[in-house]
Structure 1
């Protein structure tokens, strides 16, 4: 072998070595297992006929879950992302499925992230839930109280199947767009929406909109606006949300709307025919939190919601008041106490048992890994 051939062989070998190393580096990936195990005791006054006054619940502060995050470096600043997340009830070990038929994975999506932003495909959080929980959540250490969450009843089920979501961030401004296919499902499910938010120096504010198309083609349209401010140990938040529904829904449509509005965890303000005959709902929220010590957090929140329809028979309003204390034994384990009161006004709307007022108390233990 002459010197020229030898030099060429060495050069080719070096190129192959560098290329192989670059490919190995670009293909580096990480897999993270994470989760929350939360169990609590909850007692309420004036329970409905199908409710127990006292019960163990598989998620007081947070819904219990386990999940897998996957990230693969594709090179050039681009990553492939995967998330699979299962929700369960700690008290029974059962899957905590979503409407209508239950889902083993409450999130199941794959995506790409780079200088262009992030694109994710699959079952995932909708833009309303993203905006509220990231921008003016009720509690900075846990976006809301799982056992008592009136604000989540306005987020159109919080997640959507068959979704394409695009998120981009420039400095303190972040925006997102979503679209999901209904695929001729009996419950519908086509959605469109987006949000824009600003966050810097402890201040965060945002505006979001999303609709949901029922199987009949009729729609529910929702929007939200709010903000928060954090300075030292203090946290303040306020927000507004609104749902508008087309009239004369089919029975299948009403079933979906009932899942959106009717839940004991959402304050019990929904579920019956008088609730579902409303075509507009709105909610105002205001709250504050204070970190007394590195371990102890206190928070209090007030929500006012009202609904209206074609006739005054469905007009009603409700006040929700909640107080929570959370004590962290460590970075991963905490205990909590929550007190709440629900008061329905208007004369025409009541709980299923005829009562208009209900008190609740929740105490529990949570571990995050």
Structure 2
């Protein structure tokens, strides 16, 4: 009986170990917080320029926690899911418009041979395949385009969507996404679609993609309200004058090359906000953005980087934005690091305000989300990030 009991116990432990190896659920997250000093921030009266000292959450990485898991279905096929919640460390508030799992919420099937199909709220192929080749991947959104006008720092996700991700074929990979508009009798209203491709071989990585979102047909006082399967990007003075856009279209390419301890990269995007009779502007707003960066791994624990970003607006008005950033990161361990970031932006020319009126262009560095109230802005930021 003792031998039989020992055999049963051993078999049970082996079965449990096998089940755990084939099926898993992982809890993970990032907590990122710092203090930012901003020279030129729009004051309470909306006109004056002030010095701002603010608590800043999610600087190098958006603060989050999530669950992801797989179930082995056999034959190289697995069921997969991921639920990811964004939050503000300073206040504890939910991110992404107060959604419980606003960063990501998907379920799907993954095959070693055929790739992965997921359904839910998720990132578009440009974010997956191009964003990782920019300085955003190393030092976060303050290095991004002004006001994140081209989704450099993934300000938008796509809800009610289905996405296909291919396996990697000798370093080459493709993706495609479609977000359902869900309007009866008008299948194109609110729809989103995107596709992209990437190639990685040794020190060289390249990516390119296309994104299109329809803004829907909802209007308030004969002005369009964005009701798409895609989130919007109209968050700062850089592009809030185009919030009544009929559509968002983004073409983006990027690449990087590793040379010893250094990494150099470049990216370009063309973003167009389309208009119609329910928009407060008439001509298509076209933003062309180019960025460069150089990173250097000084020691295994210390990395430094510099980036430059140039943006031009044509169409309803003409504006130019020049931005330079510096960053340094010190790893205390494999999971915890300290960082310091700095940036300066100069704006010139004219843009539109929310009423469609031509106004002087104002600065707003990267994805920090602070309007300057004037044509220049500078920031310094220090913080800590912990991954679990």
Which bin holds the TM-score, normalised by the shorter protein?
0.7 to 0.9
**2:140 paired residue among 120, 139, 145:** 145
Aligned to 2:94: 95
User: Is the Cα–Cα contact under 8 Å of residues 26 and 74 in structure 1 kept in the other structure?
Assistant: no
When residues 353 and 326 of structure 1 are mapped into structure 2, their CA distance, relative to the original with a 3 A threshold, is closer
Q: CA deviation at 1:219?
A: 2.4
* Distance in 2 separating the partners of 1:239 and 1:29: 39
**Residues 1:337 and 2:336 aligned together:** no
Deviation digits for residues 75-99 of structure 1 (CA, Å, limit 9, x no counterpart)? 111111100000001111111124x
Aligned to 1:130: 128
When residues 242 and 41 of structure 1 are mapped into structure 2, their CA distance, relative to the original with a 3 A threshold, is same
Deviation digits for residues 50-106 of structure 1 (CA, Å, limit 9, x no counterpart)? 4870011122211110000111111111111100000001111111124xxx32112
The DSSP-based 3-state class of the residue aligned with 2:129 is: helix
Residues 10-29 of structure 1 correspond to what in structure 2 (within 5 A)?
A: 28-29=22-23
Deviation digits for residues 232-285 of structure 1 (CA, Å, limit 9, x no counterpart)? 21111101011112223636xx7xxxxxxxxxxxxxxxxxx8xx9761111101
Residues 1-369 of structure 1 correspond to what in structure 2 (within 5 A)?
A: 28-50=22-44, 53-98=52-97, 102-105=98-101, 106-114=103-111, 115-134=113-132, 136-138=133-135, 142-147=137-142, 149-150=144-145, 152-155=148-151, 157-168=155-166, 169-184=168-183, 189-216=190-217, 218-248=246-276, 250=278, 279-310=285-316, 314-346=317-349, 348-351=360-363, 354-369=373-388
CA RMSD, aligned part only? 2.5
Which deviates more, 47-56 or 74-83? Answer: 47-56
User: Is the Cα–Cα contact under 8 Å of residues 27 and 75 in structure 1 kept in the other structure?
Assistant: no
When residues 219 and 164 of structure 1 are mapped into structure 2, their CA distance, relative to the original with a 3 A threshold, is same
User: Is the Cα–Cα contact under 8 Å of residues 147 and 362 in structure 1 kept in the other structure?
Assistant: no
Give unpaired runs (5+ residues) of structure 1: 1-16, 255-272
The DSSP-based 3-state class of the residue aligned with 2:127 is: helix
Q: CA deviation at 1:146?
A: 3.6
When residues 123 and 195 of structure 1 are mapped into structure 2, their CA distance, relative to the original with a 3 A threshold, is same
* Distance in 1 separating the partners of 2:131 and 2:297: 19
When residues 343 and 249 of structure 1 are mapped into structure 2, their CA distance, relative to the original with a 3 A threshold, is farther
Structure with a larger share of its residues in helix: 1
* Distance in 2 separating the partners of 1:335 and 1:66: 20
* Distance in 2 separating the partners of 1:123 and 1:52: 37
The DSSP-based 3-state class of the residue aligned with 1:331 is: coil
Q: CA deviation at 1:143?
A: 4.5
Give unpaired runs (5+ residues) of structure 2: 1-10, 45-49, 218-227, 229-245, 351-359, 364-370
Q: CA deviation at 1:317?
A: 0.7
When residues 131 and 158 of structure 1 are mapped into structure 2, their CA distance, relative to the original with a 3 A threshold, is farther
The DSSP-based 3-state class of the residue aligned with 1:130 is: helix
Task: Pick the structure with greater CA Rg.
Answer: 1
Q: CA deviation at 1:309?
A: 1.4
* Distance in 1 separating the partners of 2:277 and 2:346: 28
When residues 249 and 180 of structure 1 are mapped into structure 2, their CA distance, relative to the original with a 3 A threshold, is farther
